[in-house]
Amino acid sequence: MKIYITKVENADFDEFLGEAMPLLTEERREKTANYKNESDKVTSAAAELLLAFAIDEQLMSGASLFTDREPDRGVTLRPVKWRKLTAGAPGIAYTITWSDKGKPVFAEPGAPYFSISHTDNLAVVVISDSPVGIDIEGKRAVSEAMIKKAFSESDAAWILSAEDEDLCQQRFLRAWTIKESYVKMLGESIFSGNMPDIFSEGEISANLLNKCAVVEETYDKYNIAAVRRV
């Protein structure tokens, strides 16, 4: 898998959106326009432009999405300056459609799989040759009730057993981004319940790793996870 990230900073939002909106698919334009917060509009647009950039780079390079026999070893973030996203943007080389579960996919046979996520002023994209999901999250308010609702009894107990609030937040963000990526890979909701335990004694569970490859990264105090079916 390959992961791309862009940070939209020091930008004139109106100018960026004016350049970006005509380059988006109709569905992404509508979704972007529906956001109330300007920064959400910008990163929503940036996410699809980043996908177009990633696909164009992949097609031009002709390189495999896997680099060796252990394809997810050494996966790193590929930073892309946001100003590149509208400068000669190629548009997405494939047609985006939706699976029966509502997951966005490319319609063309043999096209790569992808997933996108955005938060605050950051957008991330992952492309892979098997179903994949990605999530990026920063520090957020959480409650015991939310943790128990979102995670299995075992994972919730591990998160809540942290000896202080900072460690609890770290555990929550790791668990949330991995689970969100997993269910996005499946095209489901994070509250769907269709999820193996994420952790076992503080390590990613063998049950999950038997089904998926998991990559974790941090960027500017944000947690990023990508999960790919193996």
pLDDT digits (tens, 9 = 90+) for 162-186: 999 999 999 999 999 999 999 999 8
Question: Could you tell me the pLDDT band of residue 74, with boundaries at 50, 70 and 90?
Answer: low
Bridge partners (DSSP) listed for residue 186: none
The upper half-sphere exposure of residue 54, i.e. CA atoms within 13 Å in the direction of its Cβ, equals 28
Question: Could you tell me the pLDDT band of residue 213, with boundaries at 50, 70 and 90?
Answer: very high
Average pLDDT over residues 120-140: 94
Q: Tell me the C-alpha distance between 10 and 28, whole Å.
A: 23
Judge whether 105 and 113 are in contact, CB under 8 Å.
Answer: yes
- Which CATH superfamily does the domain covering 137-229 fall into? 4'-phosphopantetheinyl transferase domain (3.90.470.20)
Could you tell me which of 137, 91, 97 has the C-alpha nearest to residue 113? 97
Span of 14-23, 188-197, 208-217 with lowest mean pLDDT = 188-197
Judge whether 47 and 80 are in contact, CB under 8 Å.
Answer: no
Torsion, Cα of 39, 82, 105, 25 (10° steps): 70
Q: Where in the chain is the domain with CATH 3.90.470.20?
A: 2-129, 137-229
Percent composition of the chain: helix, strand, coil (DSSP 3-state, to 5):
40, 25, 35
Q: What is the CA radius of gyration of the chain?
A: 18
Average pLDDT over residues 210-217: 92
Q: Tell me the C-alpha distance between 57 and 60, whole Å.
A: 5
Average pLDDT over residues 57-70: 66
Q: Tell me the C-alpha distance between 23 and 90, whole Å.
A: 9
Q: Is 24 helix (H, G, I), strand (E, B) or coil?
A: coil
pLDDT at 72: 57
pTM: 0.91
In this predicted structure, the answer to whether residue 73 has a pLDDT above a threshold of 70 is: no
Question: Could you tell me the pLDDT band of residue 63, with boundaries at 50, 70 and 90?
Answer: low
Looking at the domain covering 2-129, what would its CATH class be?
A: alpha beta
